[in-house]
Amino acid sequence: LAALPRDRPALSFPAEKHLVLLRDGRTLIGFLRSIDQFANLVLHQTVERIHVGKKYGDIPRGIFVVRGENVVLLGEIDLEKESDTPLQQVSIEEILEEQRVELQAKQESEKLKVQALKERGLSVPRADTLDEY
């Protein structure tokens, strides 16, 4: 917050948009309003951004209070650079649809894999016995 010298102090006015990546893979973008020593965050006017391929969609979520242990990383968004991305923004429904499709495809390929392994007599470790990440 203060350790790294910057032109502007953190969490000051005008507020900067921050991007937070959570452990469950969600990406939140919002104005970081408050932080504490556990990295609990208070995000204002948060938007959950879902990425599928080259497309992304934003779901407005409001105010988020995130428990620190679930935060993977937090970074400031450069507002100038925010606009020039190769990604294409789509509507919420579309992105959710895309996400569903992607998930389905993944599941099917996973199934095939498991099947193939089974045929060869190998066992796949169950997800719950594995460490999550």
Partner 1 sequence: QSLEDCPLDEDEDAFQALGEEDEDIDQFNDDTFGAGAVDDDWQEAHERLAELEDKGVPSRDPDGPVGNDGDVLGDSEDALAERLTRLVIDSDLEDPAIMQAVHTSGHSQPGALNSSIWDSSAVLRRIRGPLLAQEMPSVSVLDYALPQRPPQAREEERDPSERALPRRSSSPIIGSPPVRAVPIGTPPKQAAIPNFNQQVPPRFPPLRGVRDASRGVTVSLPSSQILCPKPVHIRATMQQRYPTPYGERMSPNQLCNVPNSSLLGHPFPHSVSPVLTHLQRAQLLGGAQALSSHQAGRMSPSQFARVSGLVGSPLPSVNPKLLQGRVGQMMPPAGGFRAFFGAPPAPPPSQLPHPPGPGSHLQNLRLVPSLSRPLPCSRCPPLTLPALPRPQVFRPDTTHLHPQHRRLLHQRQQQNRSQHRSLNGSGGDRGGHRSSHQEQIRKDPYANLMLQREKDWVSKIQMMQLQSTDPYLDDYYYQNYFQKLEKLAAAEEVHGDGPKKERTKLITPQVAKLEHTYKPVQFEGSLGKLTVSSVNNPRKMIDAVVTSRSEDDETKEKQVRDKRRQTLVTIEKTYSLLLDVEDYERRYLLSLEGERPALMGERKQKICDMYDNLRGKAPGQDRLSDDHFMQIMCIRKGKRLVARILPFLAPEQAADVLMATARNLPFLIKKDSQDEVLPCLLRPFSHVLYHLPLGTVTSLVQQLTNLPQSAAAPTNPHLTAVLQNKFGLSLLYLVLSRGEELQSSDTNTELIQDNQWTELMLMATRELLRIPQGVLAKPVSIPSNLISLFSRYVDQQKLNLLETKL
What is the contact surface with partner 1 in residues (CB under 8 A)?
Answer: 1-15, 31, 33-38, 40, 42, 44, 80
Question: Is residue 108 exposed (0-12), middle (13-18) or buried (19+ Cβ within 10 Å)?
Answer: exposed
Residues whose CB falls within 8 Å of the CB of residue 98, separated by 6 or more in sequence, listed in order: 52, 53, 55, 90
Q: Based on CB atoms, which residue is closest to partner 1, 78 or 110? A: 78
> CB of residue 85 vs partner 1: minimum separation in angstroms?
20
Question: Which pair of tokens denotes residue 34?
Answer: 């408050």
Q: Based on CB atoms, which residue is closest to partner 1, 72 or 105? A: 72
Q: Based on CB atoms, which residue is closest to partner 1, 36 or 132? A: 36
Measuring CA to CA, which residue among 1, 12, 104, 3 is closest to residue 52? 104
> CB of residue 44 vs partner 1: minimum separation in angstroms?
6
> CB of residue 115 vs partner 1: minimum separation in angstroms?
31
